[in-house]
Amino acid sequence: MPSPGKKAFPLRLDPALHAAIERLAAQELRSVNAEIEFLLRDALKKRGMKIENLPKPEDPPED
């Protein structure tokens, strides 16, 4: 079940790519989903795209 406020959609990945992301996620103590989101944010940032009003993945959720 997706987190509130998050868009859920199917994503097809090459099994080797998924395995590499899974290994990286384990090293970073993140879920595969959180790692993919982190990588996408990083890629957008490197291309000069601003993502406003979104917490960083490493920020704890507010209660």
Give Cβ neighbours of residue 11 (< 8 Å, ≥ 6 apart): 36
**Are the CB atoms for 21 and 35 separated by under 8 Å?**
yes
pLDDT at 20: 98
- Stated pTM of the model: 0.73
**Mean pLDDT of successive 10-residue stretches along the chain, which has 63 residues:** 81 97 97 96 91 61 51
Identify the pLDDT of residue 4. Answer: 75
Asked if residue 59 is part of any domain, the answer here is no
In a domain, residue 53? The reply is: no
What residue numbers bound the domain in which 38 lies?
15-46
Domain count, the chain: 1
Q: What is the pLDDT of residue 57?
A: 57
3-state percent breakdown (helix, strand, coil) of the chain, nearest 5: 45, 0, 55
Q: For residue 41, tell me if it sits in a domain.
A: yes
